[in-house]
Structure 1
Amino acid sequence: MTSEQVRHRPPRALAQPRELVIVCAPLRSNVNLSRIARAAGCCAVSPIIATGRPMKLDPEIARDASSSVELVCRRSLTPVLKDLRQQGYQLVGLEQTTDSQDLHHYAFPRRTALVIGNERSGIPDEALAVLDETIEIPVWGLPYSYNAATATCMALYEYCRQWPDG
């Protein structure tokens, strides 16, 4: 053990860029979007497509991610999903449904569009109908689900665990 510890390490280099896009249903909170951006930056994931009303990243929370994460704002979720499917992305919703798969047992396709639902109402029904698959994170207590930013962080980490080199 050395006498001096290094506090921060530089980011790991990826062999190739990640083929993961985060798509957010209209969110209620810029804070959640900023926390998602911060986690995306740590995972070298860009862009984030935010749908609904135009949103801005909270500069205090997301300043570290702002140079590496592109935020794209679009008016409507379903057309964005259809466009991503045409680009070859697998549309994976982070949502509890009767058909959702447990995140612990899910194998992410390399080219994934991860769809995040609204903090209260989840992914709208018309968008759910377009998705290829839904995944959920099991909970053991109340409330019944993690908040949007926390769940996104967990899913991002699992994707990166499965695809560590990009």
Structure 2
Amino acid sequence: MTCWTLWFAASAEMEEDDQVFNLALEARLHAAETIKQSRQELIVVASLVDRIPNLAGLTRTCEVFRAAGLVVADKSILQDKQFRLISVTAEKWVPVTEVPVDSVKSYLERKRGEGYSVIGLEQTAHSRPLDGFGFPGRTVLLGLGEKEGIPVDIIHSAWRSRS
């Protein structure tokens, strides 16, 4: 075999690899577009959650349920090593929005104005279990803080509280 033959064979092999790569990239882009179009009308507000493993787990859950979005207090957690180990790239498939804790109440009010029902998740004396609960079509689900739950001024903004 001559140098020319070896170069030609290697070049043809690289072209095949490029074609396979391009097909895989097209398939992945198509899958991403399909996922975006088939999202549930559910936004999970996790701004009150401050533990990184819990936020990463919620991100994965949002991905699985094709949530329209996840709201966190600080988007810099997406770069945290522990978060990335647990989330396993879920944050790349779920739109993540930053809403600091002191802006949650106004965010909920804005979403209500956009036609969303706001539901707070908290264990209270009048809460009902989630199993069997029929979620409205457009829902903002407010998760509780790990230590204090949902602050009183915010819980009054929630349409219903559920445990």
TM-score, scaled to structure 1: 0.67
Hey, what does 1:119 align to over in structure 2?
A: 146
- Number of the residue aligned with 1:109: 136
Instruction: Deviation per CA, 1:116-166: give whole Å up to 9, x if none.
Output: 011111111111101110111xxxxxxxxxxxxxxxxxxxxxxxxxxxxxx
2:38–2:66 Cα contact (<8 Å) kept: no
Contact (CA 8 Å) 2:47, 2:99: kept in 1 or not? Answer: no
- Aligned CA distance change for structure 1 residues 116 and 55 (closer, same or farther; 3 Å): farther
> 1:67 and 2:89 equivalent?
no
Structure 1 residue 35 corresponds to structure 2 residue 62? no
**What is the number of residues matched between the two proteins?**
125
1:86 shift after superposition? 0.6
| Shift in Å, 1:46 | 3.0
Distance across 2 between alignment mates of 1:62 and 1:105: 28
Give runs of ≥4 in structure 1 deviating > 6 Å.
Answer: none
Within 2, Cα distance between the matches of 1:66 and 1:105?
29
Corresponding residue for residue 28 of structure 2: none
Instruction: Report the TM-score, using the length of structure 2 for normalisation.
Output: 0.68
| Between structures 1 and 2, the one with greater helix share | 2
Given residue 56 of structure 1, which amino acid in structure 2 is its aligned partner? I
Measured in 2, the distance between the counterparts of 1:92 and 1:66 equals 23
**Superposition RMSD on alpha carbons, in Å?**
2.2
Alignment of structure 1 residues 1-166 onto 2, 5 Å: 16-51=38-73, 53-57=74-78, 58-75=83-100, 76-136=103-163
Identity, in percent, stands at 25
